Structure 1
């Protein structure tokens, strides 16, 4: 498949998902006080985390495909699997944002993000099969997976921890460049 078409499709889906995320933030129309803004803060914070997760993944996805000339069927289908989990983020984000103290909502949100991260690893592994210059990502992926699995257990005792763990995960993936530029 043509790489440019593949990237354009992925970019479009991610842009749509990012737009849908904000639609679940409902600013109060009958109360313009600071108290009303504070009441929607959990939804807004969940939005910020999910938007940032998508943005960091998009940057890493872009960098990953800088060294790919053509996209084979395995890469295409693993990328579609990645996008499937990305499209669920608005729903799990909204549910978690509606009650950040619900362990069930936090757990579902965490599972969504973990499977999303695993699916990105699957895409990266398929790319690695055709370009092995990206092996340095294994350490970041393992650290990310461990962090997210720990969060799965902690959210049952303190659901808001998922926000902290996801911010740490975002930081991990933002600091670790996907492609090491030499020269």
Structure 2
């Protein structure tokens, strides 16, 4: 049986590698002129958004882990699936950073986010069901009340954003990143009120 500490350590290690891959996509300019670095400004934009996205995803994962009391085989496999979808972020970030307005990279970025979202929700619901089986109803409810979970399970929010996302990809692909920033700052970034207290108690 996988212990909770090894479960968290495995996840943390993979996410650290993903962070590292993203920064390595920055290329050292061939010129010593300061303006040479400006050629990588589009990637700097996509990298910054990817960094925020991954950072908030990690923080939310820490909250989920704080509510887990037993790592089942199913939970471990689904967590690995979530990490698998997350591992595509450096590729999507690098490709979109070549041209922020190109439709192909933007569509790929959107697909990565869509698959990642599905894996994240699957991870949360698995943790909720595991808690219910153990009789830990408060932990299950805490996970349901995560702001990002409530948003992603709100039909009106998902349908309206999906339509907006589709129109943006058709007519102005570069504005997809604006939606990403909005979701990161105002949805994923607003966590449960007990998250910091819970992490402190677990130390």
* TM value normalised by structure 1: 0.89
- Greater displacement, 106-115 / 169-178: 169-178
Instruction: Give 1:95-110 correspondences, 5 Å limit.
Output: 95-110=95-110
CA separation of 1:147/1:37 partners in 2, compared to 1, >3 Å: closer, same or farther?
Answer: farther
Q: Structure 2: how far apart are the matches of 1:169 and 1:9?
A: 27
Cα shift at 1:33: 2.8
1:139 aligns with 2:139: no
Cα shift at 1:10: 0.4
Cα shift at 1:173: 0.7
> How many residue pairs are counted as aligned between the two chains?
181
List per-residue Cα deviations over 1:87-117 (Å, max 9, x = no partner).
1111111111011111111010111012112
Q: Structure 1: how far apart are the matches of 2:17 and 2:46?
A: 17
1:29 aligns with 2:43: no
Cα shift at 1:8: 0.4
Aligned to 2:201: none
Q: Structure 1: how far apart are the matches of 2:103 and 2:161?
A: 15
Q: CA RMSD in A?
A: 2.1
- Contact 2:92/2:105 (8 A) holds in 1: yes
* TM value normalised by structure 2: 0.81
Higher Rg: 2
Q: Structure 2: how far apart are the matches of 1:174 and 1:115?
A: 20
CA separation of 1:68/1:121 partners in 2, compared to 1, >3 Å: closer, same or farther?
Answer: same
CA separation of 1:146/1:168 partners in 2, compared to 1, >3 Å: closer, same or farther?
Answer: farther
- Contact 1:107/1:156 (8 A) holds in 2: no
- Contact 1:64/1:178 (8 A) holds in 2: no
Instruction: Flag structure 1 segments of 5+ consecutive residues without an equivalent.
Output: none
Instruction: Flag structure 2 segments of 5+ consecutive residues without an equivalent.
Output: 132-139, 199-203
- Contact 1:78/1:123 (8 A) holds in 2: yes
